[in-house]
Chain A
């Protein structure tokens, strides 16, 4: 049977058949793209593009996909229409780079089916939020735990503070002075090696009343490079967060609890007035999840606004308040 296939392939090559001339059917697709800012204002006169699989060319490794692309300019309502034939109905859609806006990482759009010789739904609306650069500010921003600059939780079963403005553990574990975040690592089943059963918990808590943390989910590698809302919320902070990791037994899944779309806002150094209202506080964000392992290694990326009560989260990576950081500790995105 195999030899028959090889024979057929050899025949196909011999008569010069190639992938492009024998492509499966392409069907027309149409989609409307609406571009608005994060305040819902239409963005006029920017270029939007859509690409879809065209054909495959042989090459090193697995070869290369060649895509067909179409572009259009948005009108006064931020709307542009794209027409492009597709084999598989799977499109990438983005807004091209434009001065004064954060880079758009694109997103996928998949048509549902073909019917009557075209992709359906016909002319769906794809909404894109294109975030303008408004007020990027210097912040304390640090990526922690990426090797070779590993971050080890210093104690088991004992709270240890982390100073976000110093970027280090609070003394005696580092040169920090203010315990903005308090990490408590506990072991339910002690860790020996990663492929043996273990269970551990990491509690992230705070020092001051109304300090806290709240989740914000944002698609990973998709949309604006300014991934989170540009302002931290005023309300909704929880006094602690507990995360678990472990492998409860042989062949049971290692549960890291890590989510790709997880991020957080934080509020620290909160001072209340006599009436219990917030007099001062610093807002920040944690980009990605807080990761930790049984070996007490931890990783997280944060940005902290140094100005009290300023909820602006638009970080300017070129003006990090931490200077001379090694590459593995630099935060390169806003």
Chain B
């Protein structure tokens, strides 16, 4: 993330750039590369408009909030989509054996099942993305949880119900059912998002929001802490816009396919090229990666 930002934001010039273990959303390089169903928090999967003429069916989501604003408004940039764009000098080294950056399906992640499992390394990046805005221990331990997949109490309503004796009652205010959100205008969502409010109140202020979002640090912090990725991680997957400049680390194990016995004795790890294995595994097992870097970079 840091190097990519240096290239894109600060004109760092590199002949070759070899990101590996990269904890960056693919959509940052390829705005169209979304895994929306899999990277959607399960509480939000029904908050999608099914109206055929809906201009943005997911307009309630934090990841789509930027689309409420006109071109030129700084808040249009509060999205991971196309944050960096393609980088012609980058060669992506990803691992289909990744644990930390592993993909998920249907929003499954670790943060809802207790302290220890919340801290699993497996799918930690997905858990981080799906914990944005949530009141989980994992989220609160690591960043200021706001926006994201939380719900803004401003839009809560009471629902009619009946008690066990059949008497009508009103529930305490709770989040609206998806069908109750159609009356919320796009304009209203600009100042009161359906998701949890941003920590930085200026972003939701009609006169200050654009300028605040244009501040480099505000944008970076908001993206990191508040806007969930809707795509998988670069370090686990090829990036389409890098074309043939993608290399699966799983194919860069030594020529006999040998791998440390401690891994092979662990049926969850086996031959997986895990996060950090460029340094955690002995050179005799992973030397092809270094040879590949030398080869591509013409470093001999």
Which A residues lie at the B interface, using CB under 8 A? 2, 5, 9, 19-20, 22-24, 49-53, 55-56, 60-65, 67, 69, 87-88, 91-94, 96-97, 103, 105-106, 145-148, 150, 193-195, 220-221, 225, 247, 251-254, 256, 260, 291, 293-295, 297, 299, 317, 326-328, 330, 332-333
Q: Which residue of A lies closest to B144 (CB)?
A: A2
Total A-B residue contacts, Cβ distance less than 8 Å: 150
* B266 with A254: CB separation less than 8 A: no
Cα A91 to Cα B268 with chains together (Å): 7
* Inter-chain contacts of B243 with A (CB < 8 A): 194, 293-295, 297
Known: A64-B121, A194-B86, A225-B257. A23 touches B269 (CB 8 A): no
Q: A163 CB to closest chain B CB, in angstroms?
A: 21
* A195 with B250: CB separation less than 8 A: no
In the complex, which of the residues B115, B117, B137 contacts A88, with contact meaning CB atoms closer than 8 Å? Answer: B117
* Inter-chain contacts of A97 with B (CB < 8 A): 264
> B85 on the interface (CB 8 Å rule)?
yes
* A53 with B96: CB separation less than 8 A: no
In the complex, which of the residues A67, A96, A145 contacts B244, with contact meaning CB atoms closer than 8 Å? Answer: A145
* B251 with A332: CB separation less than 8 A: yes
* A22 with B115: CB separation less than 8 A: yes
Cα A51 to Cα B91 with chains together (Å): 34
Main secondary structure of the interface of A (DSSP, over half): loop
* A148 with B115: CB separation less than 8 A: no
- Chain A CB count within 10 A is highest, among B81, B121, B257, for B121
Against A, the Cβ 8 Å flags (1 = close, 0 = not) of B256-283 are 1100000011111111100110000000
* B32 with A251: CB separation less than 8 A: yes
Q: A159 CB to closest chain B CB, in angstroms?
A: 22
* A94 with B32: CB separation less than 8 A: no
Task: List, sorted by A's number, 28 A–B pairs whose CB atoms are closer than 8 Å.
Answer: A5-B137, A22-B116, A24-B116, A49-B267, A51-B266, A51-B267, A52-B268, A53-B120, A61-B100, A61-B276, A62-B124, A65-B99, A67-B266, A67-B267, A92-B268, A92-B269, A93-B267, A103-B257, A103-B271, A106-B270, A148-B296, A195-B241, A221-B97, A221-B272, A254-B33, A291-B244, A332-B251, A333-B257
> B223 on the interface (CB 8 Å rule)?
no
* B296 with A327: CB separation less than 8 A: no
Cα A7 to Cα B247 with chains together (Å): 44
Q: B128 CB to closest chain A CB, in angstroms?
A: 9
* Inter-chain contacts of B86 with A (CB < 8 A): 193-195
Interface hit among B3-11, B151-159, B205-213, B287-295: B287-295
In the complex, which of the residues B30, B141, B268, B295 contacts A67, with contact meaning CB atoms closer than 8 Å? Answer: B268
* B32 with A247: CB separation less than 8 A: yes
* Inter-chain contacts of B114 with A (CB < 8 A): 24, 87
> B176 on the interface (CB 8 Å rule)?
no
* B121 with A60: CB separation less than 8 A: no
